[in-house]
A and B are shown apart, each in its own frame.
Chain A
Amino acid sequence: MKVSLSWLREYIPVDLDPKDLSDRLTMAGLEVDGVESLYDYLDNVVVAQVVQARQHPNADKLTCCTVDIGKGELFPIVCGAPNVREGMYVACALPGAVLPGDFKIKKSKLRGEPSHGMLCSAAELMLAHDASGIMDLDGEFVTGTPLESALKLTDAVLEIDLTPNRPDCLSLIGVAREIGALTEPRNKVTLPDVTFPEAKMDSRDIHDFVSVRIEDPQLCPRYTAGMLFDVKVGPSPVWLKQRLEAVGLSCVNNVVDITNFVMMETGQPLHAFDYDNIAKSKIIVRTAGKPGDAPLEFTTLDSKVHKLDPEMLMICDGEKPVGIAGVMGGENSEITDATTRVLVESAYFNPVSIRRTAKRTGIASDASHRFERGVDPEGTLFALNRAVSLMAQFCSATIARGIIDENPVKTPPVTIDLSPKALNVRLGTSFSADEIAQILGSVEFGIDKKAAQKDDGLLQVHVPSFRVDVARPEDLSEEVARLWGYNKIETSYPLITAKGRTLASRPVLRGKIRQAMTGFGFCEAINYNFIRKDACARMAIEDPDKRTRMVEILNPISDQMAVLRTSIVPGLLEAMARNTAKQVDTLQLFEIGKVFFDTAPGKQPEEVEVVGGLITGYRWDQTWYSKKEAVDFFDLKGVVQGLLSYFQISGVLYERTETGTCPYFEPGYGARIVKDGLVLGTLGKIASGVGAAFGLKQDAYLFDLDMDSLEKALPQAIQAVGLPKFPSISRDMTFIVPKRVEVGVMIDTISAFAQKQGLIEDYFLFDVFEGSNIGEDKKSLSFRVVYRSASKTLTENNIKKIHEQLSQKIINDFQADLPG
């Protein structure tokens, strides 16, 4: 909402400078976004006097002038205007001035004669339409005075960023009312005179020309109309154009401009119809059709065709719709140069209905903007009368006797019982009832003094009809607080009970994972929740995989962000591609976030939180102590193992992924992470085809863990174990087994043996060897077994037999050979 200070001054005295005024408005809730000076372009335009004027030697229509530009300086200026004469006070643009249209004034020569400036017409300075000659300034001036101050043109336009609760301030009068409450002494607005001059009254009565019927009173509680005859449609007077242009409206013709002027002045949108295009002298306010009817095609006055739903409210004549109520008029009844009889509409429409129509049709007009926020239900007549009287004056029209005022649904006035005590509790203040009454009175709330003296101390507050945002005592507390000043309310600290709740477990778990992963050298990534629609295809995932159940966004911002992710994989791969494209080839990334699975239509999706990690590139760089070595599956597995051991989760199995379950892993390079039958997640190497689909040029290894499962797998409690008192002894065993034998299965066997046999404390694989000398399809595996007793120092004799039994069991179970 733009307001100009000169316009505001028609309703309220404003003496503050624009900056100070802006600050006060901002701190009262009308945030001023910017202040622009309206006549900045008049810098370097001064009042000058033509001292001498003589015919240009080389051009018939030009005059060579000597101009007094102040301080005794005389400039030669060539002028082409017919009205230039000696002694005349003129508006002179000096070298350096930049006139509208980026017209730069410089010293130059015109047909051989020097010219050090330009004498300007009113049109060139955008001060009036007159382009027939230069401005002939009337009166006595001191030459050299800036034109802006000589003509008292100073004006500023404030751009106010209004919150949706203040439609009353979508008007000059509304803003003036606020200013009146924010300046000292407080002032009340002066409303414009809207009485019709008798000389302008026509003998004909409006009721003989038009009748109005409201078929849907809930959507149109009030419809008023006035009528004018002998209207001369033409350009608006300069003052009116200046007003509208200053606040950013474009001018059309005097009738339309007056409706816009009154809308800006009062906040009430108006519409003017060409009466001669209203069929059968009838205005009918009704919906576009009955429920279920086909959409109606309608052309608005901007020549756009809209398809209208049957429940949209229309203004119709005796035959057809002529306007979308409160949104935009129709092309079929707009004001043209040929119009002579005008019907002016000023109505109150249901805000929700207007908003729905504006949303559906995509029309955001100044009218709908106001109606959907709520105009003053009692303001229709005032605005109508204002417009009619202005049209009589500036369109040389006569006014029909009588007005139409259909008001089937009255808007009752709002009265609030305000408890000063409750208000003070809410704000942390100690206002007296009088102080509250005074503050509220400054913005025209009526206080019933008699009621204030009742025993319960309640103030009866009458809300002015234009304050559609105020309905309850809490709303009044805001009025009091903002007008008093938020920053004058004393800062206090709440007294709180020491009753606390248990910390939510999930944020704690998340925090620990972050701690571990950054400790492992990983950077935390945050990817968008939305991904490409073809994300599953890119990962080679097919129906009926759960991850194909993606939730689609109805109004996505782009194709790249069209569905909610069902996997953390694509985001991490894309992040990798972005990094490697910037020559960062070694990455350790992790992300904690949700994935979403569609459930049923109209239901919330299932939200599953996961943690994912990605590694790619090199385990070590080329350094003085290491060679560049690429990461592999076991680097990733080590991270997963490290993370699980950080959480004391033991007994985890790594099982080969079944075909099709993780198709984005290279076949034979994927594993499920399982604990007690519960799948915690997966890890593996990204298949080269999938990598290529994401534009990856190097191998990537990725894991994901389900946070719910991880939480379930956490040990209930951690119990300290005493440290051993006696030394351990280690024995190694080496087997040659067929290559297909999985180490994990052998370790399971050793584990089962160890559990039955109490002396085995630890066991691990320490060597894997393959070579032609042991056979092409064989591998040699070496394990170390650590024995320890809690009660004594073990000797060779104590363990010899156990070690042999274990060895024999492996030989039997895995067709293993001993080396040598």
Chain B
Amino acid sequence: MQNNLQDIEKQALEKISTADSKDALESISVQFLGRKGVLTAFLRNIPSLPVDERPAAGKNGNLLKLKLEEAVRQARSELEAGAAGGAEGIDITLPGRMVKKGALHPITQVMDEISGIFLRLGFDIAEGPEVETDYYNFEALNIPKYHPARDMQDTFYVSENIVLRTHTSGSQPRVMEKNEPPVRIISPGKVFRCDSDLTHTPMFHQVEGLMVDRNISFGDLKGVLTTFVQQFFDKDTLLRFRPSFFPFTEPSAEVDIRCAMCKGKGCRVCSNTGWIEILGSGMVHPAVFENVGYDTQKYTGFAFGMGMERVAMLKYGIDDIRKYFENDVRFLGQF
């Protein structure tokens, strides 16, 4: 019985490997695997074998069937592939067996790139809870309850004193409480604001940073942020610093970059101003240092923060912020 199967295998494989056309291959396939084929006949004959031989015969017969089917399939695709050629070789213009490609979310990509720039400048990553206490999210940052500045950030509450963090700055007092200067950290992560329209989603991503040491000046803030902007966007990107207000910095500055679309002439992207707001920043307010027990006579520092969705929109020309969280793979696959 075993000999018989081995013979079938040997014969069949030889014929399959030498078949020179698809038609020839089909007839070989029928000869062995067809309804009246040799192997089919063998399998049909199993019940007539002695009882103790039947399991092995069945199994080996079926295994051979699979093996031959695979051999036929392979020979067929080789014949197809070589259809153009023979001696000239294969048709190399046939599509390859493409490996599936994955993609990182565009937000992850910009966040990684930005983190990378600051890591190279000697910053560490400090992460904090996404559900934060009112103290770390607001009070430690000099935003007392019932301060009008709270209107600047529409907050999600889960209880009277627990909020979904409105910025990642809460990590800053947490780190400062535990470490004496020098401190250089960035805090990338999700933040939440009670706002939803064409340009706002209730969740978005920020990278915020902090540098504290002796003699850190507003000029240094300008230097570090200029370095960042010119590495991230373009080495010739113009930027300007504009007075603003954040309760945790004094002086506070918005950083605008020259609109790349219109080169400053004014267009739809920059609302005809020629500038695009990209970062909030400022010198750390002494009240913040007092809250964490830093000596305000000895240390100064600066802080900054920016929204990843906005940065990615500028970088990739994305027009609708909601696309980030729809997770349509036709969108995700583009980055």
Measuring CB to CB, which residues of chain A are less than 8 angstroms from any residue of chain B?
26-29, 31, 163-166, 351-352, 355-356, 359, 372-373, 425-429, 472, 474-475, 477-478, 481-482, 486-487, 489-494, 496-501, 503-504, 506-507, 511, 514, 517-530, 551-558, 561, 564, 575, 578-579, 582, 584, 587-589, 593-594, 596, 601-605, 607, 623-626, 734, 736, 767, 769, 771, 773-774, 780, 817, 819-820
Are A373 and B105 also in contact (CB < 8 A) when A499-B182, A773-B46 are? no
Q: Is the interface of B mostly helix, strand, loop or mixed?
A: mixed
B174 within 8 A of A: no
Q: Is there an interface contact between A492 and B217, defined as CB atoms closer than 8 Å?
A: yes
10 contacts between A and B (CB under 8 A): A425-B300, A492-B220, A492-B223, A494-B211, A528-B325, A553-B156, A555-B156, A602-B160, A624-B80, A771-B59
Bound CA–CA A526/B133 (angstroms):
24
Size of interface on B: residues with Cβ below 8 Å to A:
98
Q: Is there an interface contact between B112 and A511, defined as CB atoms closer than 8 Å?
A: yes
B18 within 8 A of A: no
Q: Is there an interface contact between A625 and B97, defined as CB atoms closer than 8 Å?
A: yes
Partner of A596, one of B131, B184, B211, B222: B131
Q: Is there an interface contact between A494 and B325, defined as CB atoms closer than 8 Å?
A: no
Other than the known A164-B148, A553-B157, A579-B327, what 13 A-B pairs have Cβ atoms closer than 8 Å? A166-B245, A427-B219, A427-B251, A428-B218, A428-B219, A475-B250, A501-B124, A521-B102, A522-B102, A564-B131, A584-B330, A771-B58, A774-B59
B3 within 8 A of A: no
Bound CA–CA A21/B10 (angstroms):
94
B30 within 8 A of A: no
B115: which A residues are within 8 A, CB to CB?
A: 507
Are A604 and B162 also in contact (CB < 8 A) when A426-B217, A524-B108, A624-B94 are? yes
Q: Is there an interface contact between B52 and A607, defined as CB atoms closer than 8 Å?
A: no
Bound CA–CA A525/B202 (angstroms):
17
Are A523 and B103 also in contact (CB < 8 A) when A28-B243, A529-B130 are? yes
Please give the distance in Å from B335's CB to the nearest CB on chain A.
9
Partner of B218, one of A427, A511, A780: A427
Q: Is there an interface contact between A604 and B219, defined as CB atoms closer than 8 Å?
A: no
B306 within 8 A of A: no
User: How many Cβ-Cβ contacts under 8 Å join chain A to chain B?
Assistant: 276
Are A506 and B127 also in contact (CB < 8 A) when A428-B220, A481-B218 are? yes
A478: which B residues are within 8 A, CB to CB?
A: 243, 250-252
Please choose the segment from B20-28, B33-41, B188-196, B313-321 that sits at the chain A interface, where 4 or more of its residues have CB less than 8 A away: B188-196
Q: Is there an interface contact between B148 and A373, defined as CB atoms closer than 8 Å?
A: yes
Bound CA–CA A487/B275 (angstroms):
14
Q: Is there an interface contact between B105 and A525, defined as CB atoms closer than 8 Å?
A: yes
Are A578 and B327 also in contact (CB < 8 A) when A29-B243, A774-B55 are? yes
Are A491 and B219 also in contact (CB < 8 A) when A478-B251, A602-B159 are? yes
Residue of B nearest to A473 (CB): B286
Are A773 and B55 also in contact (CB < 8 A) when A523-B332, A578-B328 are? yes
Q: Is there an interface contact between B217 and A428, defined as CB atoms closer than 8 Å?
A: yes
Q: Is there an interface contact between B59 and A496, defined as CB atoms closer than 8 Å?
A: no
Bound CA–CA A767/B67 (angstroms):
12
Are A493 and B224 also in contact (CB < 8 A) when A773-B58, A820-B53 are? yes
Are A489 and B131 also in contact (CB < 8 A) when A494-B213, A527-B325, A555-B157 are? no
Please give the distance in Å from A213's CB to the nearest CB on chain B.
26
Residue of B nearest to A472 (CB): B286
B133: which A residues are within 8 A, CB to CB?
A: 604
Measuring CB to CB, which residues of chain B are less than 8 angstroms from any residue of chain A?
46, 52-59, 62-63, 77, 80, 94-95, 97, 99-105, 107-108, 112, 115, 119, 121-122, 124-127, 129-133, 146-149, 151-152, 156-162, 164, 182, 184, 190, 192, 194-196, 202-203, 211, 213, 215-220, 222-224, 226-227, 240-245, 250-253, 283, 285-286, 300, 324-330, 332-333
Q: Is there an interface contact between B102 and A496, defined as CB atoms closer than 8 Å?
A: no
Residue of A nearest to B56 (CB): A820
Residue of A nearest to B331 (CB): A523
Q: Is there an interface contact between A164 and B217, defined as CB atoms closer than 8 Å?
A: no
Partner of A551, one of B158, B324, B326: B158
Please give the distance in Å from B124's CB to the nearest CB on chain A.
5
A517: which B residues are within 8 A, CB to CB?
A: 102
Are A486 and B243 also in contact (CB < 8 A) when A429-B219, A504-B124, A605-B131 are? yes
Partner of A496, one of B132, B182, B241: B182
